[in-house]
Amino acid sequence: MKKRTTIYPYSKEDVQFFRYASLLGEIEPVYAVSPPGWGLCGYDVTEIDGGKSSGLKITEDLSDAMKNSELLVLTSFAKYYGEEGGLKDTLEKAIQIKMPFMLYFPPDKIEDQEAISGILDEAKQLGLLRNIPEQQKKSAKFPGIGYCKHLDSPVTLIIGQGPSTGKFETQLGLRKELLQRGYKISQIGSRPYCELFGFHSFPSFMLNNHLDETEKVISFNHFIKKIEALENPDLIIVGIPGGIIPIVDKIHNNYGILHVEAASALEPDNIVYNLYSNYYTTEYYDRSAEFIYNRFYKTLPACFILTNFWIDYGAIVEHDIFNVVTFNKMYDEVIEKPGKDIPVVSILEPGAFTKVADATLSILESYGSVDTF
């Protein structure tokens, strides 16, 4: 049975809990609470990233929300937000009213370990600390086999120019669309709490330094192969964190190395490419397609997704800070289109992920990789 859930502290990074609530298992989000001073109180929970209204407003009254909920989900912002209303204060309130809670993030990532560890120990003893189900937290052991295994299922990668390009939105939108069409999907997502939505989080061993690059490629391949063997999917979808290209010299997205490692492990059949909002020319689209083709095993994008997230270049130039500005409206139309026959989809347009699914399945059908239902 689903539990009435409060999400705190709430930001535009969390809108998928309400927009894709149908994909959640035990969680039924009913309250979105944002701290005073964040400027979100009173706004609709799914409009703050440019989406359609849900009719539910963001509140700043955490105490009232907790009294009327059965579960508290603490987002990744909670580990930084201090003082009154911060993580320590919130956990103490939860223990006081015997409120079960769940952390997006591993407890060892909390900044003030000394102040929090005793509270978490008490919560564990009281049975209040809930774990995200089957979350892939541990580093993988290198399988000891020096090569990658062949994957029998077609693979779609969801990638972006950089962080905050709507990749998780795309992963959930495509998942929902394909499940509704009757496809059996195995999926690995780019955020650490994907298990709440019914699929696997990107494994932590790909993000640390315990394995060298070759070991990561082979381990990731075996990780996906094991999932494939257990789930027997029609299609595998993999969302990769971060970005594939440097934004500027100091914001280099690790030069897309993670994407190269993942692609080497999987040899994708097609790619969905998310772009920051901008006025792109036909030449830019075509060069991007050529870049992806050369880097990702001669695979062209199935489509480009034009998002409503704009890079704040002023913050980069003046302060060396990477910041993304969200627009609540897209351009009325795409000014220029790729010279190649690759569709451009606006992430806010009606039926966006129907178009993305059509483009994805069209590529796979042309390869004979998947049957269209």
Picking from 110-114, 203-207, 361-365, which range would have the lowest pLDDT averaged per residue? 110-114
pLDDT at 140 over 90: no
Domains along the chain with CATH numbers: 3-130 (3.40.50.720), 155-367 (3.40.50.300)
What is residue 337's predicted lDDT score, i.e. its pLDDT? Answer: 74
pLDDT given at position 261: 96
Q: pLDDT tens digits for 259-271?
A: 999 999 999 999 9
53's tokens? 């209204």
- Tell which wins on pLDDT, 115 or 334: 115
Q: Which of 277, 109, 86, 253 is nearest to 193 (CA)?
A: 109
pLDDT (average), residues 207-235: 94
Flag whether pLDDT at 139 surpasses 60: no
SS (H, E, C) the chain: CCEEEEEECCCHHHCHHHHCHHHCCCEEEEEEECCCCCCCCCCECCCCCCCCCCCCECECCHHHHHHCCCEEEECHHHHCCCCCCCHHHHHHHHHHCCCCEEECCCHHHCCCHHHHHHHHHHHHHCCCEECCCCCCCCCCCCCCCCCCCCCCCCEEEEEECCCCCCHHHHHHHHHHHHHHCCCCEEEEECCCCHHHHCCEECCHHHCCCCCCHHHHHHHHHHHHHHHHHHHCCCEEEEECCCCCCCCECCECHHHHHHHHHHHHHHCCCEEEEEECCCCCCHHHHHHHHHHHHHHCCCCCEEEEEECCEEECHHHHHHHCCCCEEECCCCCCCCCCCCCCCCCEEECCCCCHHHHHHHHHHHHHHHHCCCCCC
pLDDT at position 137 is 47
Is residue 373 predicted with pLDDT exceeding 60? no
Rounded mean pLDDT of 194-205? 94
Count how many Cα atoms sit within 13 Å of the Cα of residue 278 in the half-sphere of its side chain: 15
Instruction: Say what the pLDDT of residue 363 is.
Output: 87
Is the pLDDT assigned to residue 136 strictly greater than 50? no
Kindly state the average pLDDT of the residues 106-125. 83
Task: Compute CA distances 117 → 112, 113, 246, whole Å.
Answer: 9, 6, 38
Q: Tell me, what's the pLDDT at 83? A: 62
Q: What pLDDT is attached to residue 250?
A: 82
Q: Which residue has the higher pLDDT, 258 or 365?
A: 258
Q: What percent of the chain has pLDDT over 90?
A: 69
- The residues facing 187 across adjacent strands are 237
| pLDDT, tens digit, 9 for 90 and up, residues 34-63 | 998 899 999 999 999 989 999 999 999 999
| pLDDT, the chain, mean | 90
Q: Predicted confidence band at 141 (pLDDT cuts at 50, 70, 90)?
A: low
Tell me which of 340 and 127 has the higher pLDDT: 127
What distance in Å separates the CA atoms of residue 308 and residue 328, rounded to the nearest whole number?
7
Under the banding of pLDDT at 50, 70 and 90, the label for residue 178 is very high
> For residue 164, what pLDDT is reported?
92
